[in-house]
Amino acid sequence: MLIGRIRPVETRTVDVEGASLEALSTAARAELAAGWVVTDVPAAMPKGSQLLTSTATMARRDGVEQIEADDMAALEAKVPEGWQLLGVYEL
């Protein structure tokens, strides 16, 4: 028997601006919902501006569940659309 741990694959973006890289990161974290993490905060400085801007990416990291199957093919077939298989162990 194989046990798999799965979680939803969901991302979203938010536009933030700030005077420094730290300010961008803080602004992105301020937009987080419970169970989400900031995964990317690419910085840019538009011409004529003194502020940095970013389209920060956030990813959902909660909602972990377990699924069971007799073999790997059956386990992979049980992973719902929009979810990812995190790991597998054998009982």
Q: pLDDT tier at 91 (50, 70, 90 boundaries)?
A: confident
Q: Is residue 86 a contact partner of residue 5, using CB atoms and an 8 Å limit?
A: yes
Inform me whether the pLDDT recorded for 64 exceeds 90: yes
Amino acid identity at 47: K
Nearest of 34, 36, 32 to residue 16 by alpha carbon: 32
Q: CA separation (Å) from 45 to 49, 54, 91? A: 7, 9, 53
Segment (H or E) for 23: helix 21-30
Inform me whether the pLDDT recorded for 75 exceeds 90: yes
Mean pLDDT of 39-68: 95
Q: Cα separation of 39 and 1, whole Å?
A: 34
What are 40-53's pLDDT values in tens digits? 999 999 999 899 99
- What is the value of pTM for the model shown? 0.78
What are 2-17's pLDDT values in tens digits? 999 999 999 999 999 9
